[in-house]
Amino acid sequence: MAVVIGDVPLTRHEVVQVARFDAPVELSAGALERIDAARAIIDGLAADTRPHYGISTGFGALANTSIAPGDRTRLQQSLIRSHAASSGEAVEREVVRGLMLLRLQTLATGRTGIRRATAELYAAMLNAGITPVVGEYGSLGCSGDLAPLSHVALAAMGEGTVVVGASGELDGEMVDAATALERAGLTPVVLAEKEGLALVNGTDGMLAMLCLALADLDKLLDTADLTAAMSVEGLLGTDAPFAADLMALRPHPGQATSAAQIAALLADSPIVASHKVPEDTRVQDAYSLRCAPQVHGTARDTAAHAARVAEIELASAIDNPVVLPDGRVVSNGNFHGAPIAAVLDFLAIAIADVASMSERRSDRFLDPARSFGLPPFLAHDPGVDSGLMIAQYTQAGIVSELKRLAVPASVDSIPSSAMQEDHVSMGWGAARKLRRAIDGLGRVLAIELMTAARGIELRDAPAGPRTGRVIEHLRRLVPGIGPDRFLARDIEASVAFTVGGGALIAARLLDRVESWSTDAPFETASAHEGDR
């Protein structure tokens, strides 16, 4: 079913479906009417003798330069060509599709002055799987994501490079834009007055990455609860701190959700029951076990705040100048990325904290002084075998990087455009580092899951019903305890199982397989569909 653009704001789910899974799109009749109405206003102003920014003037610091009517098409083309200035590795296909979709949604509001044919071309490019190649560097997050959006507009003009390929393909065919449009039966656009600005003045790239990140975190935070529960079980911890009446004493909603989930995962565990005896003299568990709901819940509440910001942005019309219903075309500052940049940074901080606690739980399994009877490093033959010693090193290296990635990008600003744009958000940079942070969190949790599974199997009592299913399914990909073997292969298999959705399905925390990380091996995740 096509995602209809223009009647109501897009949802975060719809953004993910189009960006990641190639859902088709179509412009509503109402959107086309609004586009035509706004364009009529621009056409009227184009004939006016007074200067109008972006219509009959230059851009940015050149806003006071008047442009003759015969040069205005060249002005729009020059804007796109000069602003398509990104550099570095190509950003992910889903990010580019997401920013294309969100720019199209703003065009559909009828506040940009775009022509109908230009908006329809963007929809057609999305449906044809034509994805412009955008370099990682080039956006300062103000005036929006100029360079990334300019590469998209350049492709619509039949210039630049694109990748043509279906969802899930890691290496589509790279061709020049003119060839791709011709193959798809599409005609390149010749931009008219105001259209260049309308296509590049938006926060669409950073918003797309925020929507994708929230979809990933929705599942990764459930995964963190799962791995924490397995660690509590394997380290002979107690489920008492997760009681609902204790959570009610500090009623943060995310904390309550994580505590309830951890408690449910530990329910009916013979291991947990085995040490609820008078002989067990421990008063309380370490913080990394006992305080998991507080840390995971903080991340949940941070994600909830970021989701509210995303929903406001999805209901916004961002352009400069903007076309108002009364016919005015007014310059504004809505393109500034500060609202998105701040929550992107906030999420990176929360991710670093969740991953840091996960690594600490894993480390407890490996230390016989703290593991309550487990062999050193969970090794088969300690001394001859090193067990999971170096898996913790891998975790530690990732967590250290996550702490660096948690340093906010949004507190930085480097003036641009001859000091006309003298304060920028750096939101694109915040979004890029968040994507790396999400990948790191998934890997840290996968190593904890692998470690906890081995620790649980070394106990005298069996695992609980839900954690036991997780271990059973994991063992189809990762062997249990035994002599040392090629550990990197086990780690990657655990990452595929964990990030690909297999662990959540086995624990009954996810109803269906959905590979939400672009780096997850899709085929490994889908192998668990028969285990629902």
Among residues 358, 355, 399, the alpha carbon closest in space to that of 228 is found at 358
Supply the DSSP string of 140-205, one letter for each residue: -SSSSSHHHHHHHHHHHTT-SEEEE--TT-SS-EEEEHHHHHHHTT-------TTHHHHHH-S-HH
- How many angstroms separate the CA atoms of 502 and 294, rounded? 26
529 DSSP 8-state letter: G
The β-bridge relationship of strands 135-137 and 87-90 is antiparallel
Strand, helix or coil for residue 38: helix
- Are 190 and 73 in contact by the 8 Å Cβ rule? The answer is yes
What whole-number distance in Å separates Cα of residue 370 and Cα of residue 7?
58
Let me know if 122 is a catalytic residue.
no
The SS3 of residue 416 is: strand
Beta strands (DSSP E) in 243-362 are 322-323, 329-330
Pairwise CA distance, residues 259 & 292, whole Å: 8
Q: E strands of 53-95, at which residues?
A: 87-90
Whether residue 446 contacts residue 247, with contact meaning beta carbons closer than 8 Å, is answered with no
| The token pair that represents 241 in the structure block | 């701190």
Given the residues 53, 122, 287, 393, the one annotated as active site: 53
d(CA 79, CA 55): 12
Q: Find out whether 478 and 493 touch, Cβ atoms under 8 Å.
A: yes
**Contact between 21 and 44 (Cβ < 8 Å):** no
E strand intervals along 457-531: none
φ/ψ bin of 383: left (φ > 0), alpha (ψ from -120 to 50), beta (otherwise): left
Supply the DSSP string of 494-513, one letter for each residue: HHHHHHTTHHHHHTTS-SS-
Distances (CA, A) of 132 to 92, 157, 159, 223: 10, 11, 10, 34
User: Rounded to an integer, what distance in angstroms lies between the CA atom of residue 37 and that of residue 31?
Assistant: 10
What is the chain's Cα-based Rg? 26
The token pair at 242 is 């997760």
Q: Which amino acid is at 190?
A: V
Nearest to 75 by CA among 90, 93, 54: 54
Say how many C-beta atoms besides its own lie within 10 A of residue 516's C-beta. Answer: 22
The residues annotated with a catalytic role in the active site are 53
